[in-house]
Amino acid sequence: MKRLCAAFFILSLYLISCNSGSKTSDIPAQDRSKVVLHSFTDTTKQDTFKIELLGKKPKEMELRFTITPANGIPVYTKVIRASSLLDNYKESVDLGKEKKQIAFIKEELQLFFAEENFLDPAVTATEEPDKNTPDKNFFAELKRSGVNGFQYRLGKEIKLYIAWSAQEKKVKPYYECCRQ
């Protein structure tokens, strides 16, 4: 009888420990990453744009964004902490519960590669640099080259615009808007 009670107790502890984990670890793999092909470093070839959700709980989650050209060597990686996004939106969006936080982060991941975020070209012939342009020479390079750009949000009112610099052989920001 003692053995039966002990076995039942151990089995109960095992089941409780399996079920007490956060439900966030149950996010399916297809909801944890997204991949899009688009011209970026070379207007004649496709680059791989990838965003992945890492971590199990909202406070430890990160969105890792990478751009990899056809040669397979990543040229850009940016890690966006989910807690930063959540903090930035908590006043305008109900993010009080973990379930809502996870839904918000998953939505951010799904919208990351919206069509309007791909800028063809990065800078048009009529655009002029302004106070949000960190490097006027790079802006002029983009205007001449006609390469594509990409924009993404770092928060509710912060967008970063990036493009490939053929002169410097790296991805650089060419516009950042609109911190207050």
- pLDDT (tens, 9 = 90+) of the chain, 180 residues, equals 555 444 444 444 444 444 444 444 567 777 799 999 999 999 899 999 999 999 989 989 999 999 999 999 999 999 999 988 888 887 778 888 899 999 899 999 999 999 999 999 999 999 999 999 999 999 999 999 999 999 998 877 789 999 999 999 999 999 998 754
Residues in contact with 56: Cβ distance below 8 Å, sequence separation at least 6, in sequence order? 22, 24, 25
User: SS3 letters for 16-61?
Assistant: HHHHCCCHHHHCCHHHCEEEEEECCCCCCCCEEEEEEEECCCHHHC
What would you report as the CA-atom Rg of the chain, rounded to the nearest whole angstrom? 22
DSSP 48-115: EEEEEEE-SSGGG-EEEEEEE-TTS---EEEEEEHHHHHHHHTTTS---SHHHHHHHHHHHHHHTT-G
Are 100 and 86 spatial neighbours (Cβ–Cβ below 8 Å)?
no
Token pair of 117 as six digits: 């975020």
3-state secondary structure of 165: strand
Provide the β-strand partners of residue 163: 149, 172
